[in-house]
Homo-oligomer: A and B are copies of this chain.
Amino acid sequence: MNLEAFCKTEGRFGIINSEEAGVIDGINDALLWGAMDYLRKEGFTWVEVPIMTKITGACENVDTLYAVDHFGQEAYLAQTGQLYLEAKIPLHNKLWTIITSSRAEDQADERHLNQFQLIELEHAGRLGDVLGHIEGTMKAMMRSALRERGNDLEELGRYEEMVGWVEEKFGCISYREAVDVLDGSAHAIRFGDDFSSEHEQYLVQEMGRKPLFITHFPKAIKFFNMRENRNDPQIVNSADLVMPYSGESAGAAEREDDHDRLVTRLKESPMFRVLQTRGKTLDDFADYLEMVKKNPVLHSGCGIGFNRISQSVLGSKDIQTSTNYPIQCNVLY
């Protein structure tokens, strides 16, 4: 079975009813139910979050915002519902949502979709807890696909590797260790650099060719509310999950629970400097900052990019394979 026809946006209405489309849909359906079953079993409460928001729903990457005019107010298509889930942490121990996340990426390539399904969790607890929930969610997704769509995975030549990923513990190295692994290779980087997709795939190969957590990234390159490591203030208690084939598929972190540190981090963040040039101020984050001040519950959370998981399970080089209607900068349906 060859998914090559799904590696482009052209001619989609001609292929979305093919046998291959049926296989992709079936695997996606099984992956979704796997995630759902895990979240229900673990007692996460579903909460609806807005997908047209102030800047607080869009601050994952301010360079890729879709703006919308909302009756004279400047609104954005949400990239994440994170802060809206976090705002309810004082009430619920465990929360989840699923949204269509929007990113105005101007590159039509094999790595980016301008809209994709994002499963988000927030819960009381620390980095170790959220990594457990990511691994639990992901393995439940893959087990569901193996159980419901085993023949299709065989047909795609993906069954055996999936079984391996489900049975073994995911890999886990720190950012500093990853820098050491890359050192001396053609992919060497310095502390403070972010990983490219080549770095990610090199690390995955070196670390056993299975899902790999990379933890404790440099503070300077991560979101303002990721909690600073109290023993090593250069890093935050964060992690990315890197998947074979698709690369970064989930991002996770403890959230800063110290109000004063949080305000300082926000003010110093490159994101906030960009926002200031667009007329935004601390006031735009007032509701969130107030919540942390009043209810400093130590909590953690993550966003799991459904389509990156789907791509990896399909063993595809191209994220467009993961969906019937892949939106990129040059296409709409």
A contacts, CB < 8 Å to B:
13, 16-18, 21-22, 25-26, 28-29, 32-33, 36, 40, 45-54, 56-57, 66-71, 73, 75, 77, 84, 87-88, 90-92, 99-100, 102, 104, 106, 114-115, 117, 287, 290-291, 295, 306, 323-325, 327, 329-330, 332-333
Q: Give me 6 other A-B pairs in contact (C-beta within 8 A), A25-B45, A51-B115, A71-B330 excluded.
A: A21-B91, A48-B325, A51-B51, A52-B115, A99-B100, A100-B100
Cβ–Cβ contact A329 & B52, under 8 A: no
Cβ–Cβ contact B66 & A17, under 8 A: no
Residues of B within 8 A of A28 (CB): 46-48
A2 to chain B, nearest CB (A): 18
Cβ–Cβ contact A332 & B25, under 8 A: no
Residues of B within 8 A of A327 (CB): 50, 52
Interface class of chain A by DSSP: mixed
Cβ–Cβ contact B88 & A17, under 8 A: yes
Cβ–Cβ contact B17 & A45, under 8 A: no
Cβ–Cβ contact B115 & A324, under 8 A: no
Question: A47 vs B17: C-alpha distance in the bound complex, in angstroms?
Answer: 12
Cβ–Cβ contact A102 & B13, under 8 A: no
Cβ–Cβ contact A92 & B333, under 8 A: no
Offer 21 A-B interface pairs, CB within 8 angstroms, sorted by A. Answer: A13-B287, A16-B87, A16-B91, A17-B87, A17-B88, A17-B90, A17-B295, A25-B91, A26-B45, A28-B46, A48-B323, A48-B325, A50-B332, A50-B333, A52-B327, A53-B332, A67-B68, A68-B77, A73-B332, A88-B324, A99-B100
Nearest B residue to A295, CB-CB: B17
**A87-B16, A325-B84 are known contacts. Are A115 and B50 too (CB-CB below 8 A)?**
yes
Nearest B residue to A105, CB-CB: B71
Residues of B within 8 A of A91 (CB): 16-18, 21-22, 25
Nearest B residue to A108, CB-CB: B71
Nearest B residue to A85, CB-CB: B324
Question: A306 vs B325: C-alpha distance in the bound complex, in angstroms?
Answer: 24
Residues of B within 8 A of A53 (CB): 332-333
Cβ–Cβ contact A332 & B75, under 8 A: yes
Question: A295 vs B17: C-alpha distance in the bound complex, in angstroms?
Answer: 10
Question: A88 vs B18: C-alpha distance in the bound complex, in angstroms?
Answer: 10
Cβ–Cβ contact A47 & B84, under 8 A: no
A87 to chain B, nearest CB (A): 6
Cβ–Cβ contact A84 & B52, under 8 A: no
Nearest B residue to A76, CB-CB: B332
Nearest B residue to A71, CB-CB: B329
The 8 closest A-B pairs by CB, nearest first: A17-B91, A71-B329, A13-B287, A17-B90, A50-B325, A29-B46, A51-B100, A29-B45
Q: Which of B45, B52, B92 contacts A66 (CB 8 A)?
A: B52
A18 to chain B, nearest CB (A): 8
Nearest B residue to A322, CB-CB: B48
